[in-house]
Amino acid sequence: MKVGQLAGAAGVTVQAIRFYERRGLLPPPHRLPSGYREYSPAMVQTVRLIKQMQGLGFTLRELAYFVQLLESQPHNPSERRKCVEAKLKSIEQRIEQLKAMHAELSSRLLTCECCNSSTPVAL
């Protein structure tokens, strides 16, 4: 399948496919004598996985490592599990930071003169 077909099947743009290649998320494709890239149908699932994981907060660097694990150790999920657990822990820490920020802003909003004043504050 050509790059446009892969992009369409995976629900991304051709530019996204090329970007993933440059970043090492996708292996270099086979080239036809005409110079066109040729992808296996299995690449559709890989591209979809990359998009899903980006949507879940994984960085491109984290994804490159994860995809490399899929390719090099397809029957050993323990390292991939560690990656997902590390991301989950990172998200939980960010949630706690956001909760603290929320509490601080809520507290300040209640006591802030510029936010609770009935007359406009001159700048």
Q: Where are the domains of the chain?
A: 1-58
pLDDT at 122: 57
Q: Which CATH class is domain 1-58?
A: mainly alpha
The pTM score is 0.73
Q: Is 38 helix (H, G, I), strand (E, B) or coil?
A: strand
pLDDT over 70 percentage in the chain? 94
Burial class (CB in 10 A: 0-12, 13-18, 19+), 46: buried
pLDDT at 111: 86
